[in-house]
């Protein structure tokens, strides 16, 4: 489960410098595309200071939807989609062993079913956290979990000061959440 070996083939479709993303703290944005059996998806990989990469994915049709990260597809392909994110991260990590990664497990919003999930310890967060812990373990990464905000960070142990990177990341997260 969540193995990069079972990921979907993907391709890079866009690159933007931090100046063109209009996203606070983002130094670079790379966009990838892949297709499941039913839908095309986009993965946004945001590079932050301290070589932290955040992964965000959604169906391409929802690109302009402000709630694109909160929508469920009910496609049943979560493990292959997350495995695709892992494959992209591993390709980044091979080139840069100081790279670390994180995610926010967005809360589900389904207006038709009258479901608005609380933002703390979301279902996505629980699944992604378990997948990262199982796949990456603690030899290569130090793991930091923020269930209150459904945020997870895995910092490469090849960095000299993992605790400092975690502090910098937490400060950025607090600023971003206060917006």
Residue pLDDT, tens place only, 116-139: 999 999 999 999 999 999 989 899
Mean pLDDT (whole number) for 27-47: 96
Q: What is the pLDDT of residue 83?
A: 93
- Give the mean pLDDT of the chain: 91
| Boundaries of every domain in the chain | 4-177
For 9-13, which contacts have Cβ atoms below 8 Å and span 24 or more sequence positions?
A: 9/34, 10/34, 10/43, 10/84, 10/87, 10/88, 13/42
pTM: 0.91
Question: How many angstroms separate the CA atoms of 81 and 38, rounded?
Answer: 12
Q: pLDDT tens-digit profile of 102-117?
A: 999 999 998 888 889 9
Identify the H or E element spanning 110: strand 109-110
b (16+ CB within 10 A) / e for 17-33: ebeebeeebbebbbebb
Percent of the chain whose pLDDT exceeds 70:
94
**Paired sense of beta strands 100-104 and 52-59, if any:** parallel
Question: How many angstroms separate the CA atoms of 164 and 162, rounded?
Answer: 5
Question: How many angstroms separate the CA atoms of 1 and 133, rounded?
Answer: 12
pLDDT class of 1 with cuts at 50, 70, 90: low
Contact between 81 and 8 (Cβ < 8 Å): yes
Q: Token pair of 49, please?
A: 């200071």
Question: How many angstroms separate the CA atoms of 173 and 85, rounded?
Answer: 21
């Amino acid at each position: 489960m969540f193995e990069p070996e079972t990921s979907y083939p993907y391709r890079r479709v866009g690159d933007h410098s931090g100046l063109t993303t209009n996203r606070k703290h983002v130094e670079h944005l790379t966009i990838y595309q892949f297709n499941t059996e039913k839908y095309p998806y986009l993965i946004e990989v945001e590079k932050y200071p301290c070589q932290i990469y955040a992964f965000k994915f959604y169906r391409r049709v929802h690109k302009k939807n402000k709630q694109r990260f909160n929508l469920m597809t009910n496609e049943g392909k979560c493990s292959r989609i997350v495995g695709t994110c892992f494959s992209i991260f591993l390709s980044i990590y091979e080139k840069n062993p100081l790279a670390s990664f994180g995610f926010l497990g967005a809360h589900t919003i389904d207006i038709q079913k009258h479901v608005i999930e609380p933002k703390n310890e979301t279902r996505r967060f629980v699944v992604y956290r378990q997948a990262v812990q199982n796949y990456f373990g603690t030899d290569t990464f130090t793991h930091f979990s923020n269930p209150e905000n459904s945020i997870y960070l895995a910092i490469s142990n090849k960095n000299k000061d993992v605790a400092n990177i975690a502090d910098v990341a937490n400060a950025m997260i607090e600023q971003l959440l206060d917006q």
